[in-house]
Chain A
Amino acid sequence: MQEIYLTSERQGQIADPVMAFLELTDVSKAFGDRTVLRNVSLAVEKGEVVSVIGASGSGKSTLLRCINLLEVPQSGRLRFLDRTIDYAEVTRGRMRQASYAVLRQRIGMVFQSFNLWPHMTVRGNVTEGPVQVLGLDRTEADARAEAILAKVGLSEKIDAWPGTLSGGQQQRVAIARALAMRPALMLFDEVTSALDPEMVGEVLDLMKQLADEGMTMLVVTHEMGFARHVSDRIAFVHEGRIAEIGPAEQMMAAPRNPETRRFLDRVLHHT
C-alpha cells in the first residue's frame, strides 16, 4: 500500500534524493510592508513527519503555502525531489505554468476548510486531478478513487455529494483527493480545526496511518497530542522564524527556547 504514494507518476524521472527530500533555504515572504517569514530554512527527510506549531499569525500557513507556490516568497530557494526553485525568479515571472503544475502534482495539500468542489460527487472530486491533470483514463482513475476511498473508509460515499457529508467525512475525502495524485509530500494546514470535536479523531487517525505508511508530511497543527506522538520532529514558528526545531519528544518535554516554552505552557495548560 505504501508504495503507491511514494512512487512517481512517470517512473524514473525522479532521482533518488541523496540530500534532504525537501529543503527550504532562506525563505522570506512579505505581504506589502508586513514581513511574515524571515529567512526560514527547513529540511525534511523522505518519510519524515514534521509538525509545525506556533501562535496565530506567526506564519505557519504561509510557510506551508510557499512550498506549493500558493504564495511566492520574495527570496529564498526550494529544493524538492530533483528540482530547485529560486523564488526570486518566480516572483519575476520566470516560471512557466507547466513547472507549477509539475511541482503541485507531487505535493498534496489539505486545508482547514476542506475546499471540496461542491458541484462534483465524491468520485468526481477524487478523479478530477488524475483525469484532468495527470491524464489518466476514466477507468484507471475510477479504480484509483475506489481504492483510496476504501482506504479512508468512505467506499459507500463514493457517489455522495460533498454537501451531504459530515465535516470529518469531507476532510477525509479531501485527503483522498490529494492522495489520488500520488504525491510525494503532503501538506496539512490545521485540517482538524474546523471539525466538531467528535470528528477530529477520525481525521487524525487517517493522518497517523499515512505517517505509518511512510508518507512525508508537513503538518501545521494545534493538536499537541498528534505533534508529540505522530511526528518525528516539531518546528516552532515564532514571528516568522523557526525559533526551534527538534525531535518531537524533546520539544514537548524539554524545549530550549523560552518562546517555545511559553507557547507550550499556554496551549498545554490553559486550553
Chain B
Amino acid sequence: MDLVRSVTDYLPGMLRAGVLAFQITLLAILLSWVLGLATALMKTSGNALLAAPAGFYVWFIRGTPSLIQIFIIYFGLPQIGIRMSPFVAGVVALGLCSGAYVAEVVRAGLMAIPKGQWESARAIGMAPALLMRRIILPQVVRIIVPPLTNEAINTLKNTSLLSAITVMELTLYTQMAIAATFRPFDFYIMAALLYLVMTTLLSRFATWFERRFQIH
C-alpha cells in the first residue's frame, strides 16, 4: 500500500516539523504579548513621546502583508548588518507581526475597565505600576483571553509562511514530502490534520484558563 508506506516513512518527519511550528508559535506568542502589552501601555500613557512610536508600529504592521514583514526581517535586515537564523528570524517576524494585534486587543481591554476601578485603587494609595499589576491587568487578562486565543491561532497558522524563508516547519516539510512521493492529497490532508490538532490544543487551553480564572 502506497499510502501506508508514505505515511510511515514521513510521519516522524511531519511530527517533528509540527513540533517545530508549535515551538516557533509559543516563542512568537510570548514575544507578541510583551510587545503588545508595552505598546498598549505606551499608546494609552497620554505621553506623546511614547504614544507616537507605538502608534507607528501598529500602523505599519497592520497595513503591510505578513510575508513582506518576514522578508524584511530575514532578507532585508542582513543588508544593514543584522543577520538571524531562519528560526530566530521566524520567531521575531511572527512576534512583531502579532504584537501589533495584541496591542490593539490589550488597549481595548484596558478601555473596557471602568474608570472607578482605577480611582478606587488610586484612592487607596496605589502607585501606577502596582495599580496596573494588581487591579487592572488581572481584569484585562480575563477580558482578552478569547481575542488573544484567536491571535495565537493566527500566529500558529502564519508559521506556514516561514516556509518561504527555509524554516523546516510543517508546510515546507510537507512540500518536500510531496515532491518526493507525488502524493499531494495525502500529505496536504495530513498537514491540515496536524495543524488542526495544534490549533485545537491552543483553544482548549484557553477555555481551561478562562474557566479557571472566571470572575464571579
Please list the residues of chain A having a beta carbon within 8 angstroms of any beta carbon in chain B.
68, 70, 97-98, 100-105, 107-109, 111, 113-119, 128-129, 132-133, 161, 163-164, 174, 177-178, 181
Contacts and interface: CB of A to CB of B under 8 A. Distances in A.
B120 A117 contact: yes
Task: Classify the interface of chain B: helix, strand, loop or mixed.
Answer: helix
A181 B125 contact: yes
Nearest to A177: B124
Given A104-B125, A163-B215, A115 B116 contact: yes
Contact of A163 (B124, B125, B130, B216): B216
Contacts of A118: 139, 215
A129 B215 contact: no
Nearest to B120: A115
Contacts of A178: 123-124
A70 B124 contact: no
A94 B139 CA distance: 32
6 contacts: A101-B127, A102-B125, A115-B114, A117-B117, A117-B139, A161-B215
Interface string B96-124: 00000000000000000010110111111
Contacts of B138: 119
A181 B216 contact: no
B134 interface: yes
Given A117-B117, A164-B216, A70 B126 contact: no
A102 B125 CA distance: 7
B135 A117 contact: yes
Nearest to A187: B123
Contact of A119 (B122, B124, B215): B215
B126 A133 contact: yes
Interface string B41-58: 000000000000000000
Interface in B109-160: 114, 116-117, 119-128, 130, 134-135, 138-139, 142
A161 B126 CA distance: 22
Given A118-B139, A163-B215, A104 B130 contact: no
A109 B123 contact: yes
Contacts of B119: 70, 109, 111, 115
B125 A97 contact: no
A128 B134 contact: yes
Contacts of A68: 123
Q: Pick from B114, B139, B216 the residue with the most CB of A within 10 Å.
A: B216
Contact of B124 (A97, A113, A114, A129): A129
B216 A101 contact: no
Interchain residue pairs A-B with the least CB separation, the first 10: A115-B116, A161-B216, A115-B120, A104-B125, A105-B125, A109-B123, A129-B124, A101-B125, A133-B125, A119-B138
A163 B214 CA distance: 12
B149 to A, nearest CB: 19
B124 A181 contact: yes
Given A111-B116, A119-B138, A133 B128 contact: no
Q: Pick from A107, A108, A128, A177 the residue with the most CB of B within 10 Å.
A: A128
Given A118-B139, A119-B142, A129 B116 contact: no
A104 B123 CA distance: 6
A113 B123 contact: no
Contacts of B114: 113, 115
A77 B128 CA distance: 24
B70 to A, nearest CB: 38
